[in-house]
Structure 1
């Protein structure tokens, strides 16, 4: 039996957003000098890019100038793999989160006001605690985060997730509803160069149709179970969230109804 891909409110919202052409938001986003550590140089002629000084054994956080409290948003982070060091963390933080610390550490995720994914060891950190692997089913030795990582900030659901190489990796953090979060990175490597780019966003929540799909998907675990649902093939494909095989359609006794 073939399991279905992870289905959550945020994964469906992301798919809906990516299908939109004219109704999405675009919010120019740069690194915020006032909310970033002193060892980080935010380029004056290109404030979407930062470079860390050679500053010894210490940690700095950079935060975006834009805060997000509603809607779903896609932001890309580009971080060369050879310029990450031991504690490269991507996530979100609330305003007032500490932006500098001694030694190399997961400063992002060390407090109640920040949430981070360490892309070196694939651990999720919040409030000073490691709360699991990410992606969920991957160990620290089986997933290599690429240079470009999309951060999915869904404040309609209050979740944060990430997407790489065209695949949504699942919800990383939840419980952020009614907060205003800023995209953030945790930097320890000297001469690290990190860029941010806002891709698109929307303040429109999921439709009743999409919510119905989510409800059915939460009760169906395998593609074979969808094939036996007493409904038309187009609806089965909609629930599966992808094209089903010709064999499944051919074996459906109700396909002509």
Structure 2
């Protein structure tokens, strides 16, 4: 049967439609991912009602207003204040992926996303970086692309590389292209994925479908870590969604095979697995795991 599938895939390769994703400045900066992370990124997201998708009603600045579902916070229009919030539930082990939705027009300065321990302060006078502003948190400042930990600027993320990316209009739509150095801040879109490997003690980010590599290493192992954000912008609305996770065990062979087949089929034919010479059980697995 494996030979049949291989022959079918090879015979269809020539006429497989090639997707043409929109230009992204982050794609050339992407780094290879482990099989564990690749499978997790390509797995179906858990239910939106998962407890790890909620902001904490306790661990937040009083200037952050929480929605009824706890998946959205909005900062009040308060001047000379830096305000933070972290998730309701943290993790101690495993690989975990969260999605943060934050409109670029609602960020202003000192817009930071990252990971914190329970001891990270969540409110301070003036305009400061909170997530990453002490030894209990690690943050990525979205406007400047700078990494912060222990109150220190650790440099730019992603790393240095000359790029050609579109100039961005007020609607964040590509208009024209120019050559720049990655030392110039790259505009971060609304959707950002946090990739926390609590077993390895690392934190990275995915932007435009590209994993930009490890931003922080040596995070404390066996300690509860929480997604966190901090902002100084009045009216900023930030959403949190837990997508998926995995144990430290390597991915199952079936999951790796399913991922390989779906990648070969391409985005436009993900739902055509019923045409493969496979038993219905395997066809259903490919569909359900997409």
- TM-score tier, shorter chain, comes to 0.7 to 0.9
Structure 2 counterpart of 1:202, from 241, 246, 255: 246
Name the CA distance, whole Å, in 2 between partners of 1:171 and 1:25: 27
Specify every segment of 5 or more residues in structure 2 that has no aligned partner in the other structure, as ranges.
Answer: 1-27, 162-181, 254-259, 265-290
Q: Does 1:160 align with 2:185?
A: no
Q: Considering only aligned residues, what root-mean-square deviation do their CA atoms show, in Å?
A: 2.5
Q: In structure 1, what is the Cα distance between the partners aligned to 2:218 and 2:248?
A: 19
Superposed CA offset, 1:148-171 (max 9, x none): 101111112111110011100111
Q: Hey, what does 2:58 align to over in structure 1?
A: 34
Contact map agreement 2:116 2:137 (CA 8 A) in 1: yes
Question: Is contact 2:36–2:251 with CA below 8 Å preserved after alignment?
Answer: no
Offset from partner CA, 1:8-39 (integer Å, 9 cap, x none): 6xx443103234469x8984320102110010
Residue from 133, 138, 147 that aligns with 2:190: 147
Cα distance, 1:4–1:35 mapped onto 2, change above 3 Å: closer
User: In the superposition, relative to structure 1, how do residues 5 and 47 fare at CA in structure 2: closer, same or farther (>3 Å)?
Assistant: closer
Counterpart among 66, 71, 82 of residue 94 in structure 2: 71
SS of aligned partner of 1:14: helix
- Alpha-carbon distance in 1 for matches of 2:246, 2:89: 15
Q: How many residues align?
A: 206
Shift of 1:136: 1.6
Cα shift readout 1:39-82 (whole Å, capped 9, x = no counterpart):
00011x22100001111111011100111111111110000010
After the TM superposition, which residues 229-248 of structure 1 pair with which residues of structure 2 at under 5 Å, given as runs? none
TM-score by length of 1: 0.73
